[in-house]
Amino acid sequence: MLKDPPLLTVRRMWQRPDAFTIGRFKGVQTGQAVDAMDGRGALEAAIKAIDLANATFLGTALPCETGPNDNLAIVAAIALAQPGDVIMAASEGFTQSAVVGDNVTTIAKSRGVAAIVIDGMARDIAGIVPVGLPVFARGITPNSCVRSGPGRVGLPIVIGGVAVEAGDLVIGDADGVVVLPRKHLHTILPSVEEVLAAEAATQGKIRNGFTNIGGIEELLASDRVRYVD
């Protein structure tokens, strides 16, 4: 590298989904959102809510990228966030120190942030839980990080194996976190509605004794199954 990079590279201007569009996804579960996107869109399974009793959220992605053992970009993202934003922080999956703790979480809550999702670690769980802000991480460690940069805010990232751009829609619950690309929301929403209708119909049948999910009974009676007993 010929010269030191800036401490922060920030994209401040980007488009968020309108409130009406966001509201139409209210109550959608992560599994239902994934089903509407051909079975994909969820972050790696290791990234889970640190408090399962406070795991549900819906908001707009504000991505940031910070190096391992550093949280300058996360702090900057929170300072730039608007109410309803979800801080999506890529920290290279580093697990030897935490990049989010109770102080950062409390400030994020006061700014109206909907959730914090990191592909690294958190700490101060006894202080985070009472704040009431959903925080998703790979785990908990007492080790602390530095705040020195460099970092990026508002630019595309990859977190938990999923590409995220500013303005994408993010849904979280006890099962995990799902990213819905903003540019595809107009096609995802009808698919979500189809999934919800089909799921309601299937569950209604099951409550009435239906057991033939996926045509399993016909398959078991066909010549495509070989019994060896």
pLDDT tens digits, one per residue of 92-135: 999 999 999 999 999 999 999 999 999 999 999 999 999 999 99
Residue 1's pLDDT band, with cuts at 50, 70 and 90, is: low
What single letter denotes the amino acid at residue 218?
Answer: E
Helix (H), strand (E), coil (C) string for 1-53: CCCCCCCEEECCCCCCCCHHHHHCCCCCCHHHHHHCCCCCCECCCCCEECCHH
The confidence score (pLDDT) of residue 32 equals: 96
Count other C-beta atoms under 10 Å from residue 221's C-beta.
9
Which residue, 2, 8, 1, 21, is CA-closest to 167? Answer: 21
Is the CB of residue 108 less than 8 Å from the CB of residue 87? yes
pLDDT tens digits, one per residue of 131-178: 999 999 999 999 999 998 899 999 999 999 999 999 999 999 999 999
Residues with Cβ within 8 Å of 205's Cβ and at least 6 positions away in sequence, in order, are none
Class of residue 39 by CB neighbours under 10 A (exposed 0-12, middle 13-18, buried 19+): exposed
Is the CB of residue 156 less than 8 Å from the CB of residue 17? no
The confidence score (pLDDT) of residue 212 equals: 86
